[in-house]
Amino acid sequence: MFLDERRARLAKAMERRGQWPERSPWIRRAVEELPRHLFAPARLWHWDSSAGVYVPVDRMAAPDRWAAELYAGPDDPTVTQVTGGRASCSLSCQAVVVDMLDSLLLEPGHRVLELGTGTGWNAALLAYRAGPGRVVSVEVDPQLVDAAHACLTAVGAEVAVQVGDGSAGRPQGAPYDRVIATYAVEKVPWAWVEQTRPGGRIVTPWGRLGHVALTVAEDGRSASGWVQGLAQFMPTRGVHPGRDWKQIRSAGLPEHADRPFVRDIQRLHQDVHLLFALRVALPEVHIRTAARDGGAYAWLHDGDSSWATLTLRDDEKAVACQGGPRRLAEELERAWDQWQALGEPDLYDYGLTVEPHRQYAWCRDAATGPRWPVGTGATDHVSLTS
């Protein structure tokens, strides 16, 4: 199938699912005029799940597979760079890019700071709306900066691309009307708030599951806003990923006696709102789930020294096994109970407030709702790529 056919299929799939935002019709036009393949390198990377490795897909050798990597589906990212076996850059899922641009409420003439240039695609979309010379983008990887600059120049987008660590923002051009990050943070850097004008907006992937849109207060001393949707992004570079489940499990820390787990593990596997609530309540706990042959499984760890497995086999009662200083299965049950006691809020019922010296997530009401501290976890690590 040719590139244009794949592209059209992806656009149609987004139409069927209602993923083109009605309030921002410019975004569909921008994506049509600036398709993602104009920013894709000649070598993409495909995740081979049976071998557990990324394998290269070269445009010259396999043009159709290359196109399939780019235009697979609305929720599929395209990995464009692999470093040490891990994805280090990607063209994010088209549906998420579109959703985040919609959350930004971008207007012509706005001055925009993007953190995480990557291929330059999102920067080009931002410039399509904001206008020439209105967007500056910061990328930590100098090699990516050169490639993005070349692609942006080729499509005629006037964007300033700079090498730097996005956590410092870019004070030289501040204040900005809009700040958008395309890598995930646990804590929103205060520099982003300081560099956004009062009333301006910051959109960023937050934590391991969602993206938030924050409005900077009129006095500039805080920024606050709601979770806008799902978004699983690669984490900010330079953060230690912490230990994974296998490493912690095999460290041989004392185990606790197996016990019944009296919650529905199938639900844990399927319900993104539940997963989001657990992630807010237990910020450093990683949860991976699977369901097969009538059974359901969950693997938990805290990136440091505690682990748990939850297992439900067909016709059996669910069992929790756990080890290490924390009892993660019990912690999970308590957080699950709390979510139910709150009436099972959606992820859209949560929000985030950022102040100079503290940040917290809240549910339903920033002032009066329940709160959870943010960024106190042992690890600042995301295991999925967008």
Ligand X SMILES: C[S@@+](CC[C@H](N)C(=O)[O-])C[C@H]1O[C@@H](n2cnc3c(N)ncnc32)[C@H](O)[C@@H]1O
Kindly list the residues in this chain that would bind ligand X in the complex (CB under 6 A).
Answer: 88-92, 115-116, 118-119, 121-122, 138-141, 144, 165-167, 182-183, 233-234, 236-237, 386
SS3 call for 144: helix
> Active site residue: 92, 167, 306, 386, which one?
92
Amino acid 121 reads: W
Q: Could you give phi then psi for residue 150, rounded to 5 degrees?
A: -65, -45
Please answer whether residues 90 and 118 qualify as being in contact, where contact means their C-beta atoms are separated by less than 8 angstroms. Answer: yes
Q: Closest separation between CB of residue 88 and ligand X, Å?
A: 6
Active site residue 92: yes
Q: Closest separation between CB of residue 270 and ligand X, Å?
A: 26
Q: Closest separation between CB of residue 81 and ligand X, Å?
A: 7
> For ligand X, which is the closer residue by CB, 166 or 303?
166
- First-residue to last-residue Cα distance in the chain: 24
Find, among 234, 221, 158, 164, the residue nearest to 194 by Cα. 221
CA–CA separation, 52 and 214 (whole Å): 37
Q: How many Cα atoms sit within 13 Å of 97 on the Cβ side?
A: 31
> For ligand X, which is the closer residue by CB, 24 or 236?
236
Q: Closest separation between CB of residue 278 and ligand X, Å?
A: 24
* CB within 8 Å of 31: residues ≥ 6 apart: 11, 94, 98, 125
Tokens of 97: 């890019």
Distance of CA 323 to the CA centre of its chain: 29
Q: Closest separation between CB of residue 347 and ligand X, Å?
A: 20
CA–CA separation, 274 and 265 (whole Å): 11
> For ligand X, which is the closer residue by CB, 171 or 294?
171
> For ligand X, which is the closer residue by CB, 89 or 278?
89
Q: How many Cα atoms sit within 13 Å of 308 on the Cβ side?
A: 27
> For ligand X, which is the closer residue by CB, 141 or 177?
141
Please identify every residue annotated as catalytic: 92
